């Protein structure tokens, strides 16, 4: 249990150190800049179009879990569980797996 927690904390710290563009608003803490869940960007859509947003990619083989993805400029990181083994996976922005690593059971 301690080893899994250590790996989880290490992964979280490493991914929180990503870079961002100068004008990009970043959510670097829970619920945004003011911790109120409000996005500061202007001219956002009031409603979705009938077709909804374009689906860029889809994956049914992630495993089980309730984690939220971590999205950076070049990758998407996901924690999941397969056959009782916890894994962290990195995908490129097209949905291709870059790497994966088991980190606990």
Q: What is the DSSP string of 11-79?
A: HHHHHTT----TT-----STTTTTTSS----SS--SS--TT-S------S-S-B--PPPEE-SS-EEEE
Query: For residue 99, is it within any domain?
Result: yes
Query: For residue 48, is it within any domain?
Result: no
pTM above 0.85, yes or no: no
Query: For residue 91, is it within any domain?
Result: yes
Query: For residue 52, is it within any domain?
Result: no
Query: Residue 1 is part of which domain span?
Result: 1-18+27-34+65-105
Query: For residue 45, is it within any domain?
Result: no
Query: For residue 5, is it within any domain?
Result: yes
* pLDDT value at residue 68: 84
| Distance in angstroms (rounded) separating the CA atoms of residues 89 and 5 | 17
Q: Give me the number of domains the chain comprises.
A: 1
Mean predicted lDDT score pLDDT of the chain: 80
Could you read off the pLDDT of 52-91 as tens digits, one per residue?
Answer: 888 888 888 888 988 888 888 899 999 999 998 999 999 9
């Amino acid at each position: 249990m301690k080893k899994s927690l250590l790996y989880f904390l290490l992964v979280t710290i490493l991914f929180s150190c990503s870079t961002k563009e100068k004008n990009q608003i970043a959510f670097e803490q829970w619920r945004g800049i003011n911790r109120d869940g409000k996005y500061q960007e202007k001219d956002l859509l009031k409603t979705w179009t009938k077709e909804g947003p374009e689906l860029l990619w889809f994956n049914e083989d992630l495993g089980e879990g309730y984690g939220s993805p971590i999205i950076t400029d070049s990758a998407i990181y996901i924690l999941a569980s397969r056959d009782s083994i916890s894994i962290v996976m990195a995908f490129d922005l097209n949905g291709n797996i870059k790497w994966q690593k088991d980190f606990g059971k």
